[in-house]
Chain A
């Protein structure tokens, strides 16, 4: 198991061109607190995400990572604090509004339409971009047909990008888990998000699938310039592909910085390995 996660880093030649230029802060989390009844899922968490970067959120089980992501795209409403997207503060934002602003996401437990084909699932990801009215689309006529052709082209490019041509017409429910994860990423990409939130994109995958997924995530980041926020458990993966890492433990932020800084942080080591309470 341990032999390979380094591969992504190794594949880059020593004399690689300089990394992509990071932009300003695109998404900021300010003093967010979230509780369910008496349980504090998040307590006063703040961090920011810069444009074009790969930002990882890590932490032990129950640290509040998924809750954080759910707050970021408006699925949960925090009791305190704000989410600032491109400088605007949002209170009580709904997920569809977040999507319309260019925030795409995938889920820890795959959320695809299982009975529909891969193609239809990805096309569904384009629905926000469809401009023609319902009846024209129903008739598949004139401008609606032209529009559908454009969308199909965009979808086909994503299919090519993620190398899933062979399952284009396969119902999602019949696919193995690793491919379903890839289809979910494809659907999130279809809305051409500027920020992509990935909830454990590599959970439950074997090494080869993880390598593929790492490659795709980095490619998305490079090729489309998409800002990526991901939650991941595999430390090898996180340290390899992220620019900056924020660490949560029991709903609090305990560290924030580059992979190297976080790796050597005593609070992080304690959180992961445990401390002896004497």
Chain B
């Protein structure tokens, strides 16, 4: 087995292996015309062969880069593997990025070949063509709307297959030789980091790094070819790549591509994945939906839901962790499972989930406990693009809401005096592409990767992350100020979509809050509160009162924590718009860009600290297609109640 594993050191070799040993098992499914269509491993391998030969005919060579722009589609993953067969490096790009954002990666990696999913993506690539002279070939999967396009760069996927099929018939040995030439130390893929602070950096990961991490985690969780996962997050994100490309190729499990982004929930219910990944915001959106639906349900159902969810909060987690629970409570939980938890898991499409992960940002303890209490084995993990994801994973039965678990096999961790986390692991990236300076800053001579995250080990050896090292600051009087920590606490309320906390070097903490339109809208509807739209709703006194209560709750929690009692939120305002990645206020992975927001809304920050009661704002908003418009509003500013520190009481 070990010798075999050593020989299967690249993804194309793994693919051929699966085609040989489990050729008829499903590799990838896609819903087409309302019916799930299955590609077996053998079919998938055949597709990759033909495609690889086609790309070779078109001039794709070892060491070249190939851009992939689109949603999760079997053909996108086939193209990824095809490029790897030839020793080329696939570069997946975010499909919802605007054209300008795609220019940098394409220029940076001298991309000559690109696969675009449809007309929308082709249009974007054509738009930046003049700035990206290296781009010679654009292949498109869905020909709709492209019939009239006559640009010489365009080739349909079908045509590429024809070219490839002819080439493969002429010289079938060519591809085998190319695949055999690949080694584990070759770069397997390049992922562009979302660029919270500066221009994006291309993270180069080798086959060895990705395969090693994918295997370590798969062995830990006992994943096999019976497992099924849903591929619904952007393929340009490392996590999606690990779950829907690296791990299936390591273990042979099947991935399913939903029909469209809007049908994910229905598709998930139909497929019933056993292995599931969701960032906290997706889990939160699901819970919000469930809560809203429950509030609209009949009185008897509401009472039953409340009763059994109360029980689940008490004993559900313990039962899942295999801890001791009284027989009566077990019986009641069993009843709850029959009437509430089971149907709820089914409604969420999680009836068959064995292992579910969440990562990317901090998850609220209530949210996390909710899923675990109804019997879904949701666990946290810690990792990043640079580490091929898996650094720490919570093992079954040892799950705590505020840590991310102990290191996975093969990972070494240590801390700098500033509490910055350093990592050494076989999954580390090779370099930032064409950026030796950034590489040297991130990875020191001994191979330690500087994460920029601040944290520590708890008594059980589980890693706890508190904030980014650079964001941890101090108030004017020297009190510790961890903005992310405060923002997360606020965001754990369903009514708060995003929050931005200010306070570094100032005398007290103030915050921007943007409301969650679904949750607040529903709340307003139930109270018969009429409103015309987002701006109107966000400026209502009633809504300010609602959000004010959330802020006070956070302050009360903080007061109980000796270290953070001084960083209670004194004043806040509700923003007139949602924070958007299109306005550069969030990263593509929806992390708040605090510095950018402070600059963009400088007058608002000044008003918060200046003691004013309201402030006028005029802001540019950018629509999805790149047009801009301006929004004007008067924002109110409110004080929030703060509490005296309760140094004696320890935080739970």
Interface residues of A (CB under 8 A from B): 3-4, 11-13, 15-17, 152-153, 156-157, 159-161, 163, 165-166, 168-169, 215, 219, 222
Sample of 16 further A-B pairs with CB below 8 A, known A3-B627, A4-B627, A168-B34: A13-B126, A13-B150, A15-B151, A16-B148, A17-B148, A17-B150, A153-B33, A156-B35, A160-B32, A160-B33, A163-B260, A165-B34, A165-B263, A166-B259, A166-B263, A169-B266
Q: Which residue of A lies closest to B150 (CB)?
A: A15
Q: Which residue of B lies closest to A159 (CB)?
A: B34
A216 to chain B minimum Cβ distance, whole angstroms, is 10
Query: Which of A12, A163, A166 meets B148, CB within 8 Å?
Result: A12
10 smallest CB-CB distances across A and B, nearest first, come from A166-B262, A156-B33, A16-B148, A166-B263, A165-B259, A156-B34, A15-B150, A165-B260, A17-B148, A165-B263
Q: Are A16 and B33 in contact (CB under 8 A)?
A: no
**Chain B neighbourhood of A163, CB < 8 A:** 260
CB distance from A169 to the nearest CB of B (A): 8
Contacts of B145 in A (CB 8 A): 215, 219
A161 to B32, CA, bound (A): 12
**Taking CB as reference atom, which chain B residue is nearest A12?**
B148
Do A16 and B34 form a contact, CB below 8 Å, given A166-B260, A219-B145? Answer: no
Complex: chain B residue closest to A7, CB-CB: B625
| B→A interface (CB under 8 Å) | 32-35, 123, 126, 144-145, 147-151, 259-260, 262-263, 266, 627
Shortest distance between the CB of B21 and any CB in chain A (Å): 35
Among residues of B, the one whose C-beta sits closest to the C-beta of A157 is: B33
Chain B residues near A168 (CB, 8 Å)? Answer: 34
**Cα of A15 to Cα of B148 in the assembled complex, Å:** 9
User: Within the assembled complex, what's the spacing in Å between the Cα atoms of A153 and B145?
Assistant: 21
Which of these, B34, B144, B151, contacts A219 with CB under 8 Å? B144
Offer 21 A-B interface pairs, CB within 8 angstroms, sorted by A. A3-B627, A12-B148, A13-B126, A13-B149, A13-B150, A15-B150, A15-B151, A16-B150, A17-B147, A17-B150, A152-B34, A153-B33, A157-B33, A159-B34, A163-B260, A165-B34, A165-B259, A165-B263, A166-B259, A166-B260, A166-B263
A102 CB → nearest B CB, Å: 24
Q: Which residues on B sit within 8 Å (CB–CB) of A157?
A: 33
Q: For A16, what are the chain B residues with a Cβ–Cβ distance below 8 Å? A: 148-150
Residues of B within 8 A of A11 (CB): 123
B residues less than 8 Å from A13 (CB atoms): 126, 148-151
Report how far A94 CA is from B263 CA in the complex, Å: 40
**Which of B35, B148, B259, B262 is packed against the most chain A CB atoms within 10 Å?**
B148
Complex Cα–Cα for A152 and B34 (A): 10
Q: Cβ of A159: which chain B residues have Cβ within 8 Å of it?
A: 33-34
User: Which of chain A's residues has its CB closest to B624's CB?
Assistant: A208
User: A225–B407 Cα gap in the complex (Å)?
Assistant: 61
A4 to B263, CA, bound (A): 29
On chain A, the residues within 8 Å of B259 by CB distance are 165-166
Q: B148 to chain A: which residues have CB within 8 Å?
A: 12-13, 16-17
Point out the residues of chain A lying under 8 angstroms from B34, CB to CB.
152, 156, 159, 165, 168
A residues within 8 A CB of B147?
A: 17, 222
Which residues from A are CB-within-8-Å of B627? 3-4
What B residues does A3 contact at CB under 8 A? 627
* Chain A residues within 8 Å of B149, by CB: 13, 16
Question: Which residue of A is nearest B154, CB measured?
Answer: A13
Q: Which of A4, A11, A153: most chain B Cβ within 10 A? A: A11
- Please measure, in the bound complex, the distance between the C-alpha atom of A215 and the C-alpha atom of B32, giving whole angstroms: 22
The complex places the Cα of A12 from the Cα of B151 at a distance, in Å, of 11
Interchain CA distance A156-B151 in the complex, whole Å = 31
Closest CB in chain A relative to B647 CB, distance in Å:
53
Knowing A17-B147, A215-B145, the reply to whether A165 touches B123 (Cβ < 8 A) is: no
Question: In angstroms, how far is the closest chain A Cβ from the Cβ of B625?
Answer: 8
Interchain CA distance A171-B147 in the complex, whole Å = 34
Write out the residue numbers on chain A whose beta carbons fall within 8 Å of the beta carbon of B263. Answer: 165-166
Bound Cα distance A13, B123 (Å): 10
From B144, which residue of chain A is reached at the shortest CB distance? A219
A130 to B147, CA, bound (A): 32
Chain B CB within 10 Å, residue with most, of A12, A152, A160: A160
CB-CB under 8 A from A15, the residues of chain B are 150-151
Rounded to whole angstroms, the CA-CA distance of A235 and B287 in the bound complex is 45
Residues of A within 8 Å of B33, CB to CB, are 153, 156-157, 159-160
Q: Which residue of A lies closest to B149 (CB)?
A: A13
Distance between Cα atoms of A156 and B33 in the complex (Å): 5
Of chain A, the residue at the smallest CB distance from B147 is A222
- A165 vs B264: C-alpha distance in the bound complex, in angstroms? 11
Nearest CB in chain A to that of B627: its residue: A3
A16–B35 Cα gap in the complex (Å)?
35
Closest chain-B Cβ to A237's Cβ sits at a distance in Å of 17
A211 CB to closest chain B CB, in angstroms? 9
Which residue of chain B has the shortest Cβ distance to A219 in the bound complex?
B145
Q: How many Å lie between the Cα of A157 and that of B126 in the bound state?
A: 28
Contacts of A219 in B (CB 8 A): 144-145
The CA of A156 and the CA of B36, in the complex, are separated in Å by 13
Taking the closest CB of chain A, its distance from the CB of B59, in whole angstroms, is 23
Q: Give complex CA distance A63, B546 in Å.
A: 53
Q: What's the Cα separation between A4 and B33 when bound, in Å?
A: 32
A16 CA to B147 CA in the complex, in Å?
9
Question: How many Å lie between the Cα of A11 and that of B146 in the bound state?
Answer: 10
In the assembly, what is the distance between CA of A3 and CA of B259, in Å? Answer: 33
Q: How far is the CA of A13 from the CA of B152 in the complex (A)?
A: 12
With CB as the reference atom, state the residue of chain B lying closest to A13.
B149
B430 smallest CB distance to A (angstroms): 40
How far does the Cβ of B262 sit from chain A's closest Cβ, in whole Å? 3
Shortest distance between the CB of B35 and any CB in chain A (Å):
8
The CA of A38 and the CA of B388, in the complex, are separated in Å by 80
Contacts of A161 in B (CB 8 A): 144
| Complex: chain A residue closest to B35, CB-CB | A156
Most buried by A among B34, B150, B259: B34
Chain A proximity of B269: nearest CB distance (Å): 11
A143 to nearest B CB, angstroms? Answer: 21
